[in-house]
Amino acid sequence: MKARIAILLLLAPASAGAQEVRIHGKGGAAHAVTTPQSTELGWGGGGSLGAELALGKYAGVQIQTGAMGLSQGSPPADKTLAARSTGVMFGTTGGLRLNAKGFWIDGGAGVAITGGEARPLLDTSIGYDFRIGKQSPLLIGPFFGYEQVIGDPGAVRPEDGRVVMFGIHAVLGSKPKPVLPPPVMEMAKKQPKPEPPPRGDRDLDTIYDDEDACPDVPGVRTADPSTNGCPETQIRMVEDHLVLPDSIHFEFDSPRVRKISFPLLHQIADYIQARGDVTHVEIEGHADEIGTADYNLQLSAARAAEVKKKLVEFGVTVDLGTVGFGESKPRDASHSERAHMINRRVEFVVTLQHQIKDEPVNGAAHASN
């Protein structure tokens, strides 16, 4: 049988680091389709390996190298010519690949080594791939291909060699779409509410509802039953971090701050200005683990920048910086919905002229979504 083995190296420039590289492999049966090869050579097979650099959602450039072999067929009609034993070809091509919703087609040109000589080579394939698992980077499916080795007009047998091939194609490195959280109302419609446990905790603040004075708003535990489970009402400085009575809330899948958090941002601005010893505030954006790491990094940085913009609007004159950490610094390392809520946040790291005693100041607040 004809064995087509392809080893392909594609080195993308440093500026293309964010582009996707996919590894392709093909293998299957092959047969020549025009004379004299179609009669003097029989069935064979081959395989190839290649690499593709994605240029966008539907296109990429690729290079592949491989080998093909065909078995012995009938003797040539011209008795003055020697019979072929087998047909073997090694080739490397580069070209363009297009794909959409599983369907793909590629084409390229290169060089083939056959009969001890180098000849121009053209190839093209078409196929359909199925993803193996919803989040797997591996796709497999059938393909049909055509290869043409350009003959030498000055040779005894100048005809082009034309071969068709069909078999299995596989690609590794094709990233599935990130799974993003649906809107809260949509989740509520699609997922039935579980029965609450005997002792519920509606606001997920680890204080049971039957002892929580504010069961619908996350708060802190206190010794006073009338305030146990209620949120703090003052901003405090603990070491170099602001501790806020609430989180800053953002529009879903957006850096835009919700209007419900504007009073909190006013309080933060008033607190920073009132201290008088603040020289710099670093606004840190954090995200949960839902979605891709790159997407979460960009969203957390954009939310930190949006908070800075609002603080300036609300009167902050000290130096403000922003940084996005994405999902890299979770407060809660578990994978529960409560952990996701805790990890979606904005934090404030403060640099002071000199260390002073921490005293709560009325009218301030914190961050997250």
Sequential DSSP letters for 10-23? ----GGGTTS-EEE
Distances (CA, A) of 201 to 73, 221, 223, 338, 342: 78, 13, 18, 11, 15
Place of tokens 């083939």: 112
pLDDT per residue as tens digits for the range 277-332: 899 999 999 988 888 999 999 999 999 999 999 999 999 999 999 999 998 999 88
Q: Return the amino acid letter for 154.
A: G
Would you state the pLDDT for residue 85? 74
Residue 47 near residue 66, CB atoms below 8 Å: yes
Would you state the pLDDT for residue 133? 79
Domains of the chain, start order = 17-172 (2.40.160.20), 230-362 (3.30.1330.60)
Would you state the pLDDT for residue 10? 36
Would you state the pLDDT for residue 354? 64
The conformation of residue 211, written as its DSSP 8-state character, comes to: G
Q: Return the amino acid letter for 76.
A: P
Would you state the pLDDT for residue 45? 92
pLDDT per residue as tens digits for the range 66-112: 999 888 888 777 666 666 778 888 999 999 999 888 899 999 999 99
Tell me the torsion sign for CA atoms 34, 40, 46, 50: negative
d(CA 173, CA 184): 32
Q: Across the 369 residues of the chain, what is the mean pLDDT of every consecutive 10-residue run?
A: 38 47 92 84 90 88 92 76 78 92 92 88 93 85 92 76 92 70 59 73 88 82 78 79 86 87 91 89 91 91 94 94 92 86 88 62 43
Question: Cis peptide before 36, with omega less than 30 degrees from 0?
Answer: yes
Would you state the pLDDT for residue 79? 67
Would you state the pLDDT for residue 4? 43
Would you state the pLDDT for residue 219? 77
Would you state the pLDDT for residue 25? 92
d(CA 149, CA 91): 10
Nearest by Cα to 215 from 225, 229, 226: 229
Q: How many residues in the chain?
A: 369
Q: Residue 184, class by beta-carbon neighbours within 10 Å (0-12 exposed, 13-18 middle, 19+ buried)?
A: exposed
Alpha-carbon torsion, ordered 208, 214, 216, 222, to 10 deg:
-50
Which residues on neighbouring strands pair with residue 139, listed in sequence order? 131, 171
Tokens matching residue 184: 């809260």
Residue 333 near residue 355, CB atoms below 8 Å: no
d(CA 248, CA 229): 19
Would you state the pLDDT for residue 160? 84
Nearest by Cα to 37 from 92, 89, 112, 87: 87
List CB contacts of 2: < 8 A, sequence separation 6 or more: 30, 43, 44, 45, 46, 68, 69, 70, 71, 87, 88
Q: Is the pTM of this model over 0.95?
A: no
Tokens matching residue 206: 């680890």
Give the three-state DSSP class for 48: strand
